[in-house]
Amino acid sequence: MICRCCGREVCHVFLDLYAAPPANSFLTQDDLGRTEPYYPLCVYVCEYCYLVQIDETKSAKEIFNSGYVYFSSYNEAFVRHAAEYVNAITPQLRLNESSLVVEAASNDGYLLQHFKTKGIPCLGVEPSGSTAEVAKAKGIETIVDFFTSALAETIVAKHGNADLFIGNNVVAHVPNLADFLTGIATLLKPDGTATLEFPHFLNLIRDVQFDTIYHEHFSYFSLLSIGEAMRRNGLFVYRVETVPVHGGSLRVHCAKEGAARAVDASVQQVLAEEVGAGLDRLETYTGLQGKVESLCRTFLEFLCREKAKGTKIAGYGAAAKGNTLLNYCGVKPYLIDFVADLTPAKVGKFLPGSRIPVRGEEKIAEDKPDYVVILPWNWEKEIKERLQFIGAWGGKFVTVIPTLTITSAGGSKIPT
Ligand SMILES: [Zn+2]
């Protein structure tokens, strides 16, 4: 395959997860009678620019049109994180009623609604029609499309150049990275800023976060690799923040080549941390496969041992990352009875691949499971707070990544 960042031939396998169905293709009762499409899930690393990436095996349009059901506003912590961002960036960039803010993958307006409240003009770009409709109902102008350089030109012609471009958890999903970044450069005013948030690859390798790998994530960025991609497409990173979402993300602030922006010390700090962890050496990238295999064996041994005793085990959070873990491990409903979730569009469906039923949160109170496996470990704290009530019948929490950990609802760790 050809590197999405530097265009050279990529031939080193980083991690092979064999094959899986698309992680967001939840199944209806009727779908259970049909064959699910499985696609290879193999991740490569480029030895030149260190971009970790999967080959594009399924078109982005196909993924987003097939049962994509993620509504950001259902996640309270996510909306809070967005509000904090808007409150910080507005004075930093001196945004006002004559500014323009454009967000790619604006989802249901979970973020732009905070600019709208401040009277700052904003425009969303969102490929999923169902989520875009929710944003429009909130009064947020939204273009139903993918953000590309061609779309950037259309936006500039109609609305002018942007003061701020936001791309949260989208750059990893972009099949044509160069075109996306060129689009940002086209869209921005000469002194404009783009902020991009993405899970920091350093955490993936450090904490064995292999379940963040699925078909919709084409690229896994470090500052080293995103910096190289920016340079190749007329942008540069002038500031970096670490943000505690998705198991540790980077928020990079970028400007157009030639813009009068001093490069902040934070850029050098994060680069030094990455080099210190060996991200500039190919050998660092090998060796994760063995850790993943060991972790999954431990998880399966736990499930098998407990189910043999007649224990009730439920999951919590029908997130995409849970599906990577469950499908790589080959878990089925005879090991995990059901997965509870708050998203109405998922309840009543079945997880892709594992075919575990998704039920509403009330099913936990009804069934009183002995263990609740928290699948989206990035929301562990919030989920534990929500589900404190399982302590009433001695229920315990299980997290799998980075190591299998069992805790009582009171918070004390139980040896495995
Ligand atoms: Zn490369």
The pLDDT tens digits for 183-223 are 999 999 999 999 999 999 999 999 999 999 988 889 999 99
pLDDT digits (tens, 9 = 90+) for 130-185: 899 999 999 999 999 999 999 999 999 999 999 999 999 999 999 899 999 999 99
Whether 234 and 338 map to the same domain: the answer is no
Note whether 169 and 221 are within 8 A (CB): no
Whether 163 and 215 map to the same domain: the answer is yes
Domain that holds residue 114: 72-285
Give me ligand 1 centre to Cα 39, in Å: 23
Predicted pLDDT at 117? 96
Whether 246 and 304 map to the same domain: the answer is no
Whether 247 and 396 map to the same domain: the answer is no
Give me ligand 1 centre to Cα 7, in Å: 6
> Which of these three, 260, 285, 310, is where a domain ends?
285
| Domains held by the chain: number | 2
Whether 275 and 248 map to the same domain: the answer is yes
Q: How far apart are CA 140 and CA 389, in angstroms?
A: 38
Q: What is the pTM of this model?
A: 0.89
Q: Are strands 358-359 and 339-340 parallel, antiparallel or unpaired?
A: parallel
> Which of these three, 255, 285, 315, is where a domain ends?
285
Whether 329 and 393 map to the same domain: the answer is yes
Give me ligand 1 centre to Cα 212, in Å: 21
305 in a structural domain: yes
**What are the tokens at 126?**
């969102």
Whether 230 and 334 map to the same domain: the answer is no
Whether 102 and 175 map to the same domain: the answer is yes
Q: How confident is the model at residue 77 (pLDDT cuts 50, 70, 90)?
A: confident
Q: Are strands 235-243 and 162-168 parallel, antiparallel or unpaired?
A: unpaired
Give me ligand 1 centre to Cα 176, in Å: 13
Give me ligand 1 centre to Cα 53, in Å: 9
27 in a structural domain: no
Give me ligand 1 centre to Cα 46, in Å: 5
CATH number at residue 335: 3.40.50.720
> Which of these three, 235, 260, 285, is where a domain ends?
285
Give me ligand 1 centre to Cα 201, in Å: 15
Say how many C-beta atoms besides its own lie within 10 A of residue 246's C-beta: 21
**C-alpha separations of 85 from 107, 242, 413 in Å:** 16, 12, 34
42 in a structural domain: no
Whether 257 and 117 map to the same domain: the answer is yes
Using DSSP, state whether 67 is helix, strand or coil: coil
Using DSSP, state whether 23 is helix, strand or coil: coil
Give me ligand 1 centre to Cα 177, in Å: 12
Whether 198 and 99 map to the same domain: the answer is yes
Whether 271 and 304 map to the same domain: the answer is no
Give me ligand 1 centre to Cα 8, in Å: 6
Q: How far apart are CA 291 and CA 283, in angstroms?
A: 15
Give me ligand 1 centre to Cα 249, in Å: 21
Whether 322 and 267 map to the same domain: the answer is no
Provide the sign of the torsion angle of the four alpha carbons 81, 82, 85, 91, taken in this order.
negative
19 in a structural domain: no
Note whether 112 and 83 are within 8 A (CB): no
